[in-house]
Amino acid sequence: MEILTPESMKTRLPFALDWTVFLTILALPVIHFCVSKVALSLAFKNGVTVVWPTAGIYLAAVLVLGYRIWPAILFSELLINSSLIYQNIVVSVSISIIDLLDPLLVTFGIHYFIRHYYFLNRSQDVFKFVGVIMASPLLTTTLATTVLCLNGIASWKEYGESWWSWWTSIVISMLLVTPALLTWSKRSRLLRQPRRLWIIEFTLLLFLTAVITQVAFGGEYSVEYMLIPLLAWSAFRFQHREVTLLIVIMSGIAIWGTAQGFGSFVRPSANESLVLLQSFVGVIALSTLLLSAVIHENRQAALELQQANEELEQRVDERTLELKNALQELQQTQFQMIQSEKMSSLGQLVAGVAHEINNPVNFIHGNISHLNEYTQDLLRMLQLYQQRHLSNDPEIQALAEEIDLEFLISDLQKMLASMKMGTDRIRSIVLSLRNFSRMDEAEFKAVDIHEGIESTLLILQHRLKDKPECPAIEVTRDYGSLPQVECYPGQLNQVLMNILVNAIDALDEVNAKRTYQQIEENPSQITIRTAVKDVQWIEIAVADNGPGMTQQVKNRIFDPFFTTKPVGKGTGMGMAISYQIITEKHGGKLECLSTLGKGTEFIIQLPIRPLLCNTLARSRDRTF
């Protein structure tokens, strides 16, 4: 045997122990009693009511709260029907059950045809709603009219009129009351105008409505058509809450005025007056709801179109940015390929020129030593011959005086020494060119960093030395004791070249605005410092006392195609390529420190053995 618990009871009887149902049971009878008294007070002389508001209230309650509140509806109907309307208990129970079926059947039809309870946003849903509320009460109206006739409350002769009155009161109630209540169950997503203007405009609309309805249904003037512009105004300018409220107000005044015998709908026959009034109320309600739904659809379509345009603009911006980045990457790749090809061609050219120069220079340099030995031997022989035979031959003495033999002997030795110094200089330049290019080294190799720095400085010597317009740029070397570093020597020399050339360009830019004396008093300086950072890293710092950079320039110094030089004097790729060489190809760091007016310093940090550093870093990551 199953034990009933609150949970099992709630599962088997969804309305049990539900606070919503409990509160609805308390509230619905009170609401039903009040609106029934109002509806009965507005009944025609034959006792027929134009609208029965509780039908619309029940439908709105079931749509919002669900089928679970049917006990509250049944309790409300039984209580009010037995105490206020019908004296016969059988009629009260029968009509109560029939009245319960109306909201349940209409709700089922709305869920089946519309799929959601809020039908005011779409014109086709409004049409479906009207169709459902007109079709569903056909059965209940027939049952209710039959019950009334069977119990003598209505005459069989007036069955048709009774059926029509019951059906129209239900339909008009659902058409007027249900939309007005549903608007308060859903929050509007569309923004309205500023609150102060909204209050002023809506107050003016209510005032005009009151004036026209008072004239139309409180006097003898047929000006009901003047309400149509006001309803259109409300549909265009306000949301569903205001529109449905205005419909209820207009309909209420029209019903009250006609019931009191005022207005153009009053006829000698009560049924004729009823038909005219219900037609007017139904037409203005349906037309306004349809117009409001169409306008809401247009607003929603405009909002969705605006959102789609914004999304499209965002996608276009994103796509444009992606294309821009792709184009920039493509340009950078193309430039790097061209630059690499240029550097490769230049390296091959430098290596070839160095080789071609080196061969004859080595030949000359090697023969100079032999020439020096031969010359010394000849000079010793000449001195010996001069000591023994020169004094006895006047012709030889005359020739010696003519050629200044003593000067020739001393100057010949100096010439040989100068020639040797020249060939040594050429050999060192050729060696520097070969060290700088290193095109034959495509893999990591342990090299002397200082050797690469000196090779680069030697190549740039023509820009560092003294010129007629300005003194030489002073180069200060602060070298630490560095181990050999595994790197791509040619690429590292390219980075050093880019940094040193930029430093020289910056100093030349400042010197162009100073006199020779001013430069001597405050000479241009480049300081190159090397040191071991820790056991695994070395540091190379190149500093100048040039003009420095602004923060904006410093932030973009490593961006591709960024340059502060005039057009044609810089591509803007030198520092970008240098940054890529240091960070990506060597696993190092390249940092720029600069203060406007105080100079610039580039700091290069390189791992001594990159493969070992990567292995240790991965080991630490696994440890932590």
Kindly give, in sequence order, each residue whose CB lies less than 8 Å from that of residue 347, ignoring residues fewer than 6 positions away.
437, 438, 439, 490
Distance of CA 114 to CAs 121, 178, 187, 334, 342, Å? 11, 15, 19, 61, 73
pLDDT on residue 439: 46
pLDDT on residue 352: 59
Q: What single-letter DSSP state applies at residue 569?
A: S
Question: What is the band of 606 on the pLDDT scale with cuts at 50, 70, 90?
Answer: very high
pLDDT score of 3 more than 50: no
Report the DSSP beta bridge partners of residue 525.
474
pLDDT on residue 10: 45
pLDDT score of 553 more than 80: yes
CA gap 282, 290 in Å, rounded: 12
Q: Tokens 């088997």: give the residue.
A: 12
pLDDT score of 216 more than 70: yes
What pLDDT digit, counting tens, does each position of 30-39 carry?
888 888 888 8
pLDDT score of 11 more than 60: no
pLDDT on residue 358: 63
Q: Cα-atom radius of gyration of the chain, to the nearest Å?
A: 53
What pLDDT digit, counting tens, does each position of 526-546 carry?
999 999 988 889 999 999 998
CA gap 373, 420 in Å, rounded: 13
What pLDDT digit, counting tens, does each position of 485-511 carry?
988 887 888 889 889 988 998 898 888
Mean pLDDT, range 76-100, rounded to an integer: 87
CB count within 10 Å of CB 299 equals: 15
What pLDDT digit, counting tens, does each position of 285-297 carry?
888 888 888 888 8
Question: What is the band of 24 on the pLDDT scale with cuts at 50, 70, 90?
Answer: confident
Distance of CA 402 to CAs 381, 385, 409, 539, 598, Å? 20, 18, 14, 64, 64
What pLDDT digit, counting tens, does each position of 513-526 carry?
888 888 888 899 99
Of 10-24, 239-253, 354-368, 548-562, the range with the lowest mean pLDDT is: 10-24
pLDDT on residue 26: 86
Distance of CA 285 to CAs 49, 391, 467, Å? 18, 149, 98
Kindly give, in sequence order, each residue whose CB lies less than 8 Å from that of residue 205, ignoring residues fewer than 6 positions away.
230, 233, 234, 238, 246
What pLDDT digit, counting tens, does each position of 34-87 carry?
888 888 777 766 567 778 889 999 999 999 888 888 988 899 889 888 887 888
Cα-Cα-Cα-Cα dihedral sign, residues 312, 315, 320, 323: negative
Q: What single-letter DSSP state applies at residue 33?
A: H
Cβ atoms of 353 and 433 closer than 8 Å: yes
Cβ atoms of 241 and 184 closer than 8 Å: yes
Cβ atoms of 59 and 107 closer than 8 Å: yes
Query: 475 or 617: whose pLDDT is higher?
Result: 475
Q: How many residues are present in the chain? A: 624
Joined together, the tokens standing for residue 200 give 């002023």
Of 184-198, 277-291, 310-324, 590-604, the range with the lowest mean pLDDT is: 184-198
- CATH class of the domain defined by 1-186: mainly alpha
pLDDT score of 1 more than 70: no
Domain residue limits, the chain: 1-186
Cα-Cα-Cα-Cα dihedral sign, residues 166, 172, 178, 181: negative
Joined together, the tokens standing for residue 32 give 């039903």
pLDDT score of 360 more than 60: yes
Cα-Cα-Cα-Cα dihedral sign, residues 72, 74, 79, 84: positive
Q: What single-letter DSSP state applies at residue 551?
A: H
CA gap 316, 241 in Å, rounded: 39
Q: What is the DSSP string of 183-217?
A: GGGS---SPPSPHHHHHHHHHHHHHHHHHHHHHHH
Cα-Cα-Cα-Cα dihedral sign, residues 342, 344, 345, 351: positive
pLDDT score of 130 more than 50: yes
- Per-residue b/e over 111-121, b at no fewer than 16 CB within 10 Å? eeebeebbbbb
pLDDT score of 205 more than 90: no
pLDDT on residue 219: 65
Query: 224 or 247: whose pLDDT is higher?
Result: 247
What pLDDT digit, counting tens, does each position of 246-255 carry?
888 888 888 8
CA gap 235, 295 in Å, rounded: 7
pLDDT on residue 341: 55
Mean pLDDT, range 183-198, rounded to an integer: 67
pLDDT on residue 342: 58
CA gap 585, 233 in Å, rounded: 72
pLDDT on residue 2: 41
Query: 460 or 8: whose pLDDT is higher?
Result: 460
Report the DSSP beta bridge partners of residue 618.
none
Mean pLDDT, range 91-108, rounded to an integer: 91
What pLDDT digit, counting tens, does each position of 373-428 carry?
777 777 777 777 766 665 566 776 677 677 766 777 777 777 777 777 777 767 66
Can you tell me whether residue 589 is helix, strand or coil? strand
Distance separating the N- and C-terminal Cα atoms of the chain: 61
Distance of CA 86 to CAs 152, 159, 182, Å? 12, 18, 30
What pLDDT digit, counting tens, does each position of 134-173 carry?
998 999 999 999 998 988 888 888 888 889 888 988 999 8
